[in-house]
Amino acid sequence: MANRAPGNGKNRPVKKRTPSLLRLAGRIAATAMAAVVLSLVGLQYARIVNEDVAMARSLSAAKNDITALQRRKRSEQREIRRLMDPSGAVPEIHDRLHLVAPNETIIYVKPPRQ
């Protein structure tokens, strides 16, 4: 008769319950494992986001460099076109080389001292 549930006359086995402390420990362990897995996923996600931000900054810096180089290239091409024209080359010859034609004179004016 030890196999019957108390209080009724039915012939069914008595269910053995695990102690509530053991059940609580299992739930805490499962919750801790879930927290560890979620934190590891979060750390990996944060690392990937940081790499993406670093790459975005690098890409932005490269785009800025490209823009500056294109601007410089256009400026130098304008200067080359100007110097290929004789009317643009003569002032440059006067300024940089201090050369003059036979009937020309260069007058240097010093700025006043302050």
> Is the pLDDT score of 1 beyond 50?
no
Mean pLDDT (whole number) for 49-72: 97
Using one digit for the tens of pLDDT, what is the confidence trace for 28-44? 999 999 999 999 999 99
| The predicted structure's pLDDT at residue 22 | 86
pLDDT at 110 over 70: yes
8 A C-beta contact, residue 101 and residue 107: no
DSSP state of 13: P
Cβ-contact 3, 13 below 8 angstroms: yes
18-31 per-position pLDDT tens digit:
678 888 899 999 99
**1 to each of 11, 40, 73, how far by Cα in Å?**
9, 53, 101
Distance CA 24, CA 12 (A): 28
Average pLDDT, the chain: 86
Euclidean distance between CA atoms 7 and 32, whole angstroms = 40
Q: Is the pLDDT of residue 56 over 70?
A: yes
Instruction: Summarize the confidence of residues 87-91 as an average pLDDT.
Output: 83
Domain map of the chain by residue range?
20-97
Give the span between the Cα atoms of 18 and 24, in whole angstroms.
10
